Structure 1
Amino acid sequence: MQSKIDAFRFRSRWNFLFLLATAVLAPVVAHAQVRIPDAARNVAEVEQTLRVGDQLEDQRRWGEAVTHYEKALKENPGRREFEDRLVTSRFHYQIGRRYVDSSFLETVGTIGEQDALDLYGEVLLKVHAHYVQPPNWNLLLDRGLTAIEVAFSESAFAERHRLVVTTNPQPTFRQLHQSVATQRVYSRHDARQQAFELARTLQSGVGIPAPVSLLEFTCAAIGSLDDYSAFLTGNQLDDVLAQIEGNFVGLGIELKAEDEALQLVSVISGGPADQAGLKAGDRIVEVDGRSTREISTDAAADMLKGVEGSVVELVVLDASDAARRMRLKRMRVEVPSVDQVSIIDPDYGVGYVRITSFQKTTNSDMDAALWKLHREGMRSLIVDVRSNPGGLLTASVEVADKFVSQGSIVSTRGRSSAEDFDYKAHKVGTWRVPLIVLIDSDSASASEIFAGAIRDHRRGTLVGQRSYGKGSVQGIFPLSIANAGVRLTTAKFYSPAGHPISRRGVHPDVVVAMEDRQVVAKPVDDRLPIVDDQSDNTLAAAMQVARKQLSQRQR
């Protein structure tokens, strides 16, 4: 089975924050301007970035290190030192996540050597058949060795497999890296055989069981292809499929790691956390008797997961640091993909709707929102896809089709012709209301499909900042041998005018400088939230555009 998903950014539903320090250069002569040469400035910025990275790595804050190096590479494309550190940090982060994941631990504890080898072969077959470009088999093998080397240094990995270090393993790894570099790997069959031989060598040389090494080769083979392809444990696969469906079992909260706690970013209405009175900004500091200072925030977050109907005990601090101990029952939570539906300017009839992600329910949710606004007198519409990381490609096509009457919406092109699709608009059911779309640097993937279609057809006005620039399509492939799956890049997509989105993004018609803090909505008593354009410069600019367009139409 393959599910098409126009991928989520590499962040799942976590946002790891980091502090980037900057040096302040004092002038040598008072009242004189001193021009710092560009080359010197670039060297200083690189050194500062590496220093911050060193601090994050020393503190083993791998999630934040990944985010740090991703940002550095976006600002300095192609810098090898950032690329190498990103690879290593990402392996540390992924291994840490896997070794607190109950589904992966079950697999690693029961899988034998032959099944592990067959699992690796199955993954290589999917890469061979579906990946967007021909893979470099040598690179995937070498990255697999790097992943095992990183895993060897992780305490959770060593403790799980009872590894006792009696000699320095570095010479063994160095020799194996050299072996991979000197042997040409021509096919997936060659890669499978070499991985098997390398796993056997590691078992005899440093004591890592061969099935365990083969699992790391498997995870690294997918994770080394690009920023969006990844191995998915059974639990992660369930999470991804739940995001597609628009529901999941849990507490109904979105979290971020901050100050050795889990801070609530948002609380889903009607979920267990909402019913218990939790609010955005509250901090979880203890889960089932384990302090978030004693265990990693990743481990604490995984402890929040569980089967429907099970109970978790939390200690939560509110904004005043008052502690509450509570027991919450995990329930199935419906995640709205369309919210804050309202007429935000009754005088002009300006409607507003926010799309938080593109999932299976988005099409019907958007239909309901549009008819609600129509009944309330909508004469112009603002669609907000800021901070929308994407979702289902087909869902974004369906939403664009509501406003574009004919022609292309998006086209996809892969290495295989089976991945080549041209999605067309249909005239029936097209809404002709004047349209404004809000985008920002976190509008990605499916959001860019929607925004790109509106821009290229001149169907509406785009307001905000250039979008993220993720122009690739991922397929979700469950695996047959283990309780796991892979997310694999299968194609790139292009706007109706043929523009690639990857690394370029979608440019707005009206550029608004990025605010330090955007407040999109605020509660009003017990009623639905209203949009606050006074504290949101992008929305305020969109309102001006809408009013101007409506005034011109009335002349």
Structure 2
Amino acid sequence: MRPSGCLRGLHKAHPNRLLRHPVFQISRLFRYECCRHHITVHRWIDAMRSLLDLVRFPIAILALLMSFGTSTSAQVRIPAQATSGTAVLNEVFRQGSQLESTRQWTEAVAHYEQAVDRHPGYRELQKRLIVARTHLDLARRYTDQSFLRSLRKMNSDEWLGVYSEVLAKIQSHYVHLSDWHSLVERGLTNVEVALTERQCRDQHALRASSSDVAPVFDNVRRVLASRPVRTREQARNFASHAGQVFEQHVGFPASAIYAEFICAAASALDEYSAYLTGSQLDDVFSQIEGNFVGLGIEIKSQTDSLLVVRVIPGGPAAESGILAGDRIVAVDGTSVRATTTDRAADMLKGTAGSEVSVAIQREARQPESLRIIRRRVEVPSIENTTMVDRQMGIGYLRLTSFQKTTSRDLDYALWELNKQGMRGLIIDLRGNPGGLLDAAVEVADKFLETGTIVSTRGRGFQEDMDYQARLVGTWRLPLVVLLDRESASASEILAGAIRDQRRGTIVGERSYGKGSVQGIFPLHSMNGGIRLTTAKFYSPNGKAISGHGVRPHVRVQHVAKSYDAFVGFAKGHDAAFSVALDVARKQQAK
């Protein structure tokens, strides 16, 4: 660092502060810099004299300081990780902006979620993630026929009534007290995003340009700034005002404005709370019941295809020869690359008995076209039940979800393994996203004799529960539980109970860390609902799961992908399973 630059910058930016410095402070500062430059005593005295004359002769001091020159040895060293970190963030924003410009919102959300995990606390990334999620949710709503029917059928007063109902449910059931002002602000963000989405503009025949919209937004935001929203009634009144203003000056129907405020009110609470369209609500209940109409596959969006993560045994896709790991590259003749992955995924849906054509690509082979008939599919929550070491009596099962049928399915699997001589069990929870709280408690109760399974705490006393194990029907065999970073929610209830009660050994990776309970609330005033976080849950030792997850006893860095877990260990490629099997064998040897 050059002393001239340091002091000149201070003088130019803060002249009064420099004038008020006492002499000894200036002397000490300048001595430090001079010593670093090996300046002689005489030159230091000259420099001090010039500094003391600074008020009267600023030009002289500048000339003197500039004469000191530059010394590379005196430059402040910037840590390499600091500059590399900035470069990494710049690249994150560059890639994100590219995805945004091409309106690849699914990919943008995944990109920013990963970035937020790697750079926690970086507010700009959080903002980008919120906007990307808002775009994605809106694009999905405007291709959802149940939502579009509600828009056509209901008038603005009815939509405003739905908003009032949603706010009332948030006030009654949400785990924390609500910041009504923030919910209203998010509503305006949703409206702003909606006005940029082509599907929304086409649906409502909007012609207003961005220059037409900007002053209207400025006016509405000024009103919000002057009227802090502290109650849900005030939130409802502001939404009503915004709806009237946008309809009058922009031509955006008030009913559509209220719809965006409804969606924003739920999604602004946390990442798990959300508005559910009629079809989404039906899907949730189908997942709870363990059946749905479709092809019988689970898919994951990729840049130019849909990855088949799981094929449900006995479903139409399984009978057509589709395998986990296959990629769907076209649906009904439309290339996934030529449309959005969300649109392609929607095209796979349909009524029972209808037909769909899919092009499947496996590894490097040419795509193969298949015609599949949709039908109702029963989704088993237990898969791959088998004995993996008959000599040692070690059984294995994969628990894929927690639904109404899980307890019954598990009983059947356990007795089948018991008939084959099971003396130890590996429970694979990798890739299990969770499900019903009650189902997780029922599963844990099968392996715990006494003690707490899980505790929930919410805002109301009705959410404060301590679930206890019962002695009757307990399986006392040694356990090994496999986890990965995608094991979440109900999976973490089971794993946390096994760990804290010292009932088994956890192998794999730390789990996701979703320690919250959501309730599904159908709306009385329309075909739809909201999902709200109503409580947090804690392991038997009182440990919070949110943001922490369940840590394994034995960590395995490289865990097989969930869609290939069973195939992987069958071929000996699954490192986590191999470790779990070794642990189970040692348990039997004791």
Give TM-score scaled by structure 1 length: 0.89
Question: Which has the larger share of helix?
Answer: 2
Determine if contact 1:533/1:539 at 8 Å carries over to the other structure. Answer: no
2: CA distance, partners of 1:465 / 1:323: 35
Q: Deviations over 1:339-367 (max 9, x none)?
A: 11111011211111110111111101111
2: CA distance, partners of 1:550 / 1:270: 35
Structure 2, gaps ≥5 residues long: 1-76
Determine if contact 2:186/2:265 at 8 Å carries over to the other structure. Answer: yes
Partner of 1:434: 478
Larger Cα-atom Rg:
2
Partner of 1:165: 208
Q: How does 1:124-273 map to 2 (within 5 A)?
A: 124-166=167-209, 167-273=211-317
Letter in 2 for 1:155: R
* Residue from 129, 136, 147 that aligns with 1:104: 147
Determine if contact 2:106/2:136 at 8 Å carries over to the other structure. Answer: yes
Partner of 1:359: 403
* Residue from 379, 403, 412 that aligns with 1:335: 379
Letter in 1 for 2:328: I
Q: Deviations over 1:317-351 (max 9, x none)?
A: 44454344443221000111111111101121111
* Residue from 530, 538, 545 that aligns with 1:501: 545
Letter in 2 for 1:421: M
Partner of 1:488: 532
Change (3 A) 1:517 1:126: closer
1: CA distance, partners of 2:376 / 2:561: 32
1: CA distance, partners of 2:362 / 2:106: 25
* Residue from 113, 127, 131 that aligns with 1:84: 127
Specify the SS of the correspondent of 2:309. strand
Partner of 2:45: none
Determine if contact 2:509/2:557 at 8 Å carries over to the other structure. Answer: yes
Specify the SS of the correspondent of 2:149. helix
Partner of 1:521: 566
Partner of 1:424: 468
1: CA distance, partners of 2:386 / 2:327: 31
2: CA distance, partners of 1:457 / 1:281: 37
Q: Deviations over 1:173-226 (max 9, x none)?
A: 233233323322121111111101011111112210000000010011101110
Structure 1, gaps ≥5 residues long: 1-33, 523-529
Q: How does 1:26-45 map to 2 (within 5 A)?
A: 36-45=79-88
Change (3 A) 1:132 1:365: same
RMSD: 1.8
Specify the SS of the correspondent of 1:100. coil
2: CA distance, partners of 1:404 / 1:360: 20
2: CA distance, partners of 1:511 / 1:505: 14
Q: Deviations over 1:219-244 (max 9, x none)?
A: 11101110100111111111111111
Q: Measure how far apart 1:139 and its partner are.
A: 0.5
Change (3 A) 1:176 1:137: same
Partner of 1:7: none
Specify the SS of the correspondent of 1:473. strand
Q: Measure how far apart 1:307 and its partner are.
A: 1.8
* Residue from 123, 127, 130 that aligns with 2:166: 123
Q: Measure how far apart 1:283 and its partner are.
A: 3.4
Q: How does 1:290-369 map to 2 (within 5 A)?
A: 290-369=334-413
Change (3 A) 1:464 1:315: closer
Q: Does 1:274 align with 2:318?
A: yes
1: CA distance, partners of 2:146 / 2:123: 35
* Residue from 367, 376, 381 that aligns with 2:420: 376
Q: Deviations over 1:477-512 (max 9, x none)?
A: 111111111111000001111111000111111111
Determine if contact 2:308/2:324 at 8 Å carries over to the other structure. Answer: yes
Partner of 1:17: none
Specify the SS of the correspondent of 1:535. coil
2: CA distance, partners of 1:335 / 1:186: 45
Determine if contact 2:107/2:302 at 8 Å carries over to the other structure. Answer: no
Q: Measure how far apart 1:287 and its partner are.
A: 2.9
Letter in 2 for 1:50: F
Partner of 1:386: 430
Partner of 1:67: 110
1: CA distance, partners of 2:512 / 2:574: 20
2: CA distance, partners of 1:82 / 1:185: 27
Q: Measure how far apart 1:302 and its partner are.
A: 1.1
Specify the SS of the correspondent of 1:133. coil
Determine if contact 2:560/2:576 at 8 Å carries over to the other structure. Answer: no
Specify the SS of the correspondent of 1:179. helix
Partner of 2:12: none
Letter in 2 for 1:473: V
Determine if contact 1:465/1:513 at 8 Å carries over to the other structure. Answer: yes
Determine if contact 2:458/2:535 at 8 Å carries over to the other structure. Answer: yes
* Residue from 76, 87, 91 that aligns with 1:48: 91
Q: How does 1:512-551 map to 2 (within 5 A)?
A: 512-515=556-559, 519-522=564-567, 531-532=569-570, 534-551=572-589
Change (3 A) 1:120 1:267: same
2: CA distance, partners of 1:531 / 1:150: 46
Letter in 1 for 2:299: L
1: CA distance, partners of 2:348 / 2:257: 29
2: CA distance, partners of 1:417 / 1:44: 49
1: CA distance, partners of 2:473 / 2:571: 30
Specify the SS of the correspondent of 1:400. helix
1: CA distance, partners of 2:200 / 2:300: 25
Determine if contact 2:508/2:559 at 8 Å carries over to the other structure. Answer: no
1: CA distance, partners of 2:324 / 2:172: 44
- Greater shift, 195-204 or 300-309, is seen at 300-309
Letter in 2 for 1:364: R
Q: Measure how far apart 1:253 and its partner are.
A: 1.3
Identity across matched positions, percent: 50
Structure with greater contact order relative to length (CA < 8 Å, sep ≥ 6): 1
Change (3 A) 1:517 1:110: closer
Change (3 A) 1:508 1:314: closer
Letter in 1 for 2:445: D
Q: Deviations over 1:253-286 (max 9, x none)?
A: 1122234333322221211122222233433343
Letter in 1 for 2:511: S
Q: Measure how far apart 1:36 and its partner are.
A: 4.6
- Greater shift, 177-186 or 474-483, is seen at 177-186
Q: Does 1:477 align with 2:502?
A: no
Determine if contact 2:404/2:439 at 8 Å carries over to the other structure. Answer: yes
Specify the SS of the correspondent of 1:461. strand
Determine if contact 1:400/1:453 at 8 Å carries over to the other structure. Answer: yes
Determine if contact 1:520/1:533 at 8 Å carries over to the other structure. Answer: no
Partner of 1:10: none
Q: Measure how far apart 1:291 and its partner are.
A: 3.5
Change (3 A) 1:124 1:179: same
Specify the SS of the correspondent of 1:427. coil
2: CA distance, partners of 1:398 / 1:516: 28
Q: Deviations over 1:440-473 (max 9, x none)?
A: 1111100000000001100111111111110000
Partner of 1:22: none
Determine if contact 1:199/1:211 at 8 Å carries over to the other structure. Answer: yes
Partner of 2:66: none
Change (3 A) 1:507 1:247: same
